[in-house]
Structure 1
Amino acid sequence: MSFFARSAAARVLLRTSPKGSRTIVVDTPPPPSDYHAKQEALIAHAKVTAELWRKVSIYIAMPAIVVAALWVNNVESEHAAHAEHLMAENDGKLPQPPPYEYLNRRVKPFPWGDNSLFFNPKVNKDMEQAE
């Protein structure tokens, strides 16, 4: 059978078939739409959730911040006492770290000088006097 004969037969079959048999219509009822009840439930849920996070913030986060601040204060005061002890042993200056080759390495000069951008003479080595 040739292509034209097959396509002609297919057209005839499509024209003679009943039109309503191709579609299926199912009569479904629309879903219940209780918009206001859903909105009230959403608002109630938001109030409960906001109250929960307010309590978490007050009773858990605030004490945790206070405990962390006290702990950091303790550690930093110990560090400051140790630095003062080292300065007292070394005539009021911090001892210089060992001259490791990877410390304070300069491949090219900085535009602002040999020291770092945030140079502090109390804690950083002065690289302009180093060489």
Structure 2
Amino acid sequence: MAALGRISNLLLRSSLNQTRRQLSATAEHGEQSARLWKILTFTVALPGVAVCMLNMYLKEQQHSHEQPEFIPYSHLRIRSKRFPWGDGVKSLFHNPHVNALPDGYEGHDE
């Protein structure tokens, strides 16, 4: 019985030592991996975000800010019942410059 206890104790120690070695190797690999991702963040990701922001800014400068023409299509802006907020005609995220009401844009008498 005592021999069985000694054997199990030896096996437990050897598995713990092996686990410690694996963890230390993983930690070294983890430090290298963290360094790699830090370098990639500063050399690839941040410049990539900056280029995308510049592209968006330049496209916005070229974009016309005129109100689109109102065409009263019968299949658009159907209101079968009133919205439960405000005056009941405007959608929840209504933008008077872009979103037309069923009879045209706000503030325009045509």
Judge same fold: TM > 0.5, yes or no: yes
Asked if residue 76 in structure 1 is aligned to residue 60 in structure 2, the reply is yes
Q: Name the Cα RMSD after superposition.
A: 2.2
Pick the structure with greater CA Rg. 1
Residues 31-46 of structure 1 aligned to structure 2 (within 5 Å): 33=15, 34-46=18-30
Q: CA deviation at 1:69?
A: 0.4
Q: Which has the higher contact order (CA 8 A, sep 6+)?
A: 2
Query: Structure 1 stretches (4+) deviating beyond 3 angstroms?
Result: none
| Greater Cα offset, 64-73 or 112-121 | 112-121
Uncovered stretches (5+) of structure 2, i.e. residues with no partner: 1-10, 105-110
Asked if residue 107 in structure 1 is aligned to residue 80 in structure 2, the reply is yes
Q: Which amino acid aligns with 2:49?
A: I
Identity within the alignment, %: 33
Uncovered stretches (5+) of structure 1, i.e. residues with no partner: 1-29, 87-93
- Offset from partner CA, 1:47-67 (integer Å, 9 cap, x none): 011111111111110011000
Q: Which amino acid aligns with 1:103?
A: L
Residues 8-87 of structure 1 aligned to structure 2 (within 5 Å): 33=15, 34-79=18-63, 82-83=64-65, 86=66
TM-score of the two chains, using structure 1 as the length reference: 0.58
TM-score of the two chains, using structure 2 as the length reference: 0.68
